[in-house]
Structure 1
Amino acid sequence: MVYKIQTPNPQYNGVTEGVAFAKGIGYTDDLNIRNVLINDYKYADISEVAEAIEVEAEKPIEDMTVAELKEKAKGLKLSGFSKLTRDELIALINGESTSEDDEGKQEEFTSKEANNEEKNIEEDDNDNQ
């Protein structure tokens, strides 16, 4: 296992106990050196945190649960997702519109056009009288 070690100073660039640090982060695969850095130098082992972040970042959106998708949508500052299905959430996060949304918009638009046409016909009939 490789241990990811963080110094108290995030700007530290140097070598401690044979471990090279850049911007306060260094790596070692030696457990004894890791223990010296943690116990004697009071550095922090952030290996588990780094692994958790990497695992979460690697998870494809298609493999996420509804709860994870809602959390992602919230993190992206999207709105109107609380009642969406899993597929609708994926489409929303990917920036796609669902076919139902498109059909609904088309029906609404067509309905408005029809109403306007009826009004135009009525106005023409009234003008001709």
Structure 2
Amino acid sequence: MIDSNYSNSALLTISKLCKTVGILCLIISIIGIIIGFYLVADNETSGFYIVIFSLIFGIIYPLISFASAEIIKLFIQIEKNTRTPELKNNEKNLNTKKYSSEESETSSISKEQNLKSINEYYANKRKS
């Protein structure tokens, strides 16, 4: 899902940690349910409470941690997809024809200049 060339290792580590916590919560709740059923079989009231709390713990907390892991991955994808073209193309220069509303003004700037941003365009326009 996430491009291997894109490095955002801190967020990916947090996402994997959230999934691991979710899996641990599931395992602990399953163990709690098994222990609770053994205690219920021995007619102990504490076994009933252990089963109830293990079911609640085993449903809510893994859902929260799995959802947070997927939300972090979603934010990484959104950030990757909304990058500007110059960042996607390793800082390639923008074409000055992109600013077509001021096409007549671009003719005053020499065609040999490669402007990296709209800020440089207006800075060069101000100089001339």
For normalisation by structure 1, the TM-score amounts to 0.31
Question: Higher RCO, 1 or 2 (CA under 8 Å, sep at least 6)?
Answer: 2
For normalisation by structure 2, the TM-score amounts to 0.31
Structure with the higher fraction of residues in strand conformation = 1
Structure with the higher fraction of residues in helix conformation = 2
